[in-house]
Amino acid sequence: MSDTRSLRVALLGAGTVGGHVARLLLEHHDELAARAGISLDLVGIAVRDVNAKRAVDLPAELFTTDAETLIQGADIVVELIGGIEPAKSYILAAIGSGADVVTGNKALLAEHGAEIFAAAARVGAEVYYEAAVAAAIPIIRPLRDSLAGDHVERILAIVNGSTNYILDRMDRFGDSMEDAQRVALELGYLEADPTLDVEGYDAAQKAAILAGLAFHTTVPAAGVHREGISSITLEDVESAREAGYVIKLLAIAERVADDAGVEGVSARVHPALVRRDHPLASVHGGNNAVFVEAEAAGPLMFYGAGAGGVQTASAVLGDVVSIARRHLAGGVGVGESVAADLPVHPIGAAETRYRISLEVDDRPGVLAELAGILASRGVSVETLQQSTSAADASASAVASDDVAASGEADRATATLVIGTHSARDAALAAAVEALAASDAVESVRSVLRIEGA
């Protein structure tokens, strides 16, 4: 540790976020020192290639490829490389050498958070990670500290700006999924390889972090059920709108008891129907929002930009200043509470509601038959809507190709939309399977969960 006149800050990574962190540390040096009560001196930036072109212009003498040596001489190590290795080794080395750590590395925390927090706890180091979820939106401290005396029941969060941008375009401008993805790519909302965002991997990592914090439990990323948005069509979006919903990719963490009554947590990421008057429905573009339902506090929402280099840098710098203040005040890191140590249940244990859209035979007795299938799985119906309108007839033309092939081309079909009451997800999924197997059902057009009602 350094003397009390300054703290040596080492930065690992000089991408978009790292560049802004370095710039702001230099530009606002005196102001940050005044707030922290101690000078925060950027002593170096570890990168793979010191000659690489960078978005933010920084003094060349700060750059080094020798991360290990930089870490050894630092009081605060800011890791913004991303990915598992070498980020993990660097963070553990920093903790081992007595430094505190700031990171925005959601993948690493979701996969190896428990190991990193345990290493920090052994030596009393701080590991702060406000930037790991929802960029600049303060959500880690509110969950860890402000709600530390409350009982969080559920979190519904929009934590991936790229997919929110895509779904919002489909909803507001009528773009197809393909067109919306193309625009998102052009405007930089989506990476060249969109898989992490579109298939929900990024949101699942954040869901694991939020669930762990909210429920004082270690939740591995592998315990998060994950579905992306690639199967969502414009027809789904428009049908949702007609019914008063908007489709959002939600990260959901909640308390659930399984069939045996064992209290646990469930974390999942999937597209969901959200009622238009829910606060999450008005989160547009690339923004993020975290909606928290707590026993005493009631519903809370945290809203803001969910990405962006300078926005994320704000969260990183807040952590750096907080660590500096704590350094001056003495004491060790408080660490993460995993006191509840709850089991992580699979999605089947969660209580959900489904909206099921089916192409069914248009003949007497079909409704009773399908209702019977649902009832036998313990699923009760809240709404039923059947239509054979011109629009539906044309929409069902695709399905009728298959029908024609099976020699039943002249069977009349109707569209049936079933909204269920809430039930275990396992029961709902089984009911959909049974419906799909029924002779009366030509095709399952879409199945979406309804959340936040």
Residue 18 is labelled as binding a ligand = yes
In terms of CB distance, is 313 or 417 closer to its own copies? 313
Among 311, 357, 415, 420, binds its own copies (CB under 8 A): 311
The site for its own copies, by CB under 8 A, has a size of 66
Contacts of residue 385, Cβ cutoff 8 Å, sequence gap at least 6: 416, 417
β-pair type (263-275, 441-451): parallel
305 binds its own copies (CB under 8 A): yes
β-pair type (413-420, 381-387): antiparallel
User: Which residues from 196-235 bind its own copies, rule CB under 8 A?
Assistant: 216
Among 182, 275, 302, 392, binds its own copies (CB under 8 A): 302
Q: What is the dihedral of CA 172, 173, 174, 180, to 10 degrees?
A: -100
263 binds its own copies (CB under 8 A): no
314 binds its own copies (CB under 8 A): yes
326 binds its own copies (CB under 8 A): yes
Nearest to 136 by CA among 322, 316, 13, 286: 316
Residue 217 is labelled as binding a ligand = no
156 binds its own copies (CB under 8 A): no
Buried b (16+ CB within 10 A) or exposed e, 333-356: bebbebeeebebbebbbbebbbbb
Among 296, 390, 397, 405, binds its own copies (CB under 8 A): 296
In terms of CB distance, is 39 or 400 closer to its own copies? 39
d(Cα 127, Cα 110) in Å, to the nearest integer?
Answer: 14
Backbone angles phi, psi at 332, to 5 degrees: -105, 180
CA angle 400, 356, 211 (to 5 degrees): 140
Contact 196, 221 (CB under 8 A): no
Contact 322, 359 (CB under 8 A): no
77 binds its own copies (CB under 8 A): no
Among 48, 122, 151, 172, binds its own copies (CB under 8 A): 151
Structure tokens at 194: 């969109």
399 binds its own copies (CB under 8 A): no
d(Cα 164, Cα 166) in Å, to the nearest integer?
Answer: 5
Contact 448, 272 (CB under 8 A): yes
243 binds its own copies (CB under 8 A): no
Among 2, 15, 26, 28, binds its own copies (CB under 8 A): 28
> What is the residue whose two structure tokens read 């706890």?
121
419 binds its own copies (CB under 8 A): no
d(Cα 208, Cα 74) in Å, to the nearest integer?
Answer: 30
15 binds its own copies (CB under 8 A): no
Residue 413 is labelled as binding a ligand = no
In terms of CB distance, is 64 or 337 closer to its own copies? 337
Helix axes 29-36, 16-27, angle to 10 degrees: 80
Q: How far is the CB of 258 from its own copies (least distance, A)?
A: 20
The span of 129-137, 175-183, 256-264, 386-394 binding its own copies (CB under 8 A) equals: 129-137
37 binds its own copies (CB under 8 A): yes
Residue 12 is labelled as binding a ligand = yes
Q: How far is the CB of 340 from its own copies (least distance, A)?
A: 7
Q: Kindly state the DSSP code that residue 230 receives in the 8-state scheme.
A: T
Burial (Cβ within 10 Å: 0-12, 13-18, ≥19) of residue 156 = buried
319 binds its own copies (CB under 8 A): yes
Residue 285 is labelled as binding a ligand = no
298 binds its own copies (CB under 8 A): yes
Residue 191 is labelled as binding a ligand = yes
Nearest to 159 by CA among 270, 273, 296, 254: 270
In terms of CB distance, is 285 or 378 closer to its own copies? 285
Q: How far is CA 372 from CA 23, 367, 375, 386, in A?
A: 65, 8, 5, 17
330 binds its own copies (CB under 8 A): yes
d(Cα 123, Cα 204) in Å, to the nearest integer?
Answer: 30
**Residues 53, 88, 206, 248: which is the catalytic one?**
206
User: Which residues from 107-126 bind its own copies, rule CB under 8 A?
Assistant: 124
In terms of CB distance, is 305 or 427 closer to its own copies? 305
Structure tokens at 114: 């428990």
Among 257, 334, 384, 404, binds its own copies (CB under 8 A): 334
Structure tokens at 254: 């909640």
390 binds its own copies (CB under 8 A): no
β-pair type (76-79, 63-64): unpaired
Please confirm, yes or no, whether 248 is among the known catalytic residues: no
Catalytically active residues are: 206
Q: What residues form the annotated binding site?
A: 12-19, 106, 191
Interface with its own copies (CB under 8 A): 20, 24, 28, 31-32, 34-37, 124, 130, 135-138, 140-142, 145-151, 216, 279, 282, 294-305, 308, 310-311, 313-322, 325-326, 328-335, 337, 339-340
Annotated binding site for NADP(+): 12-19
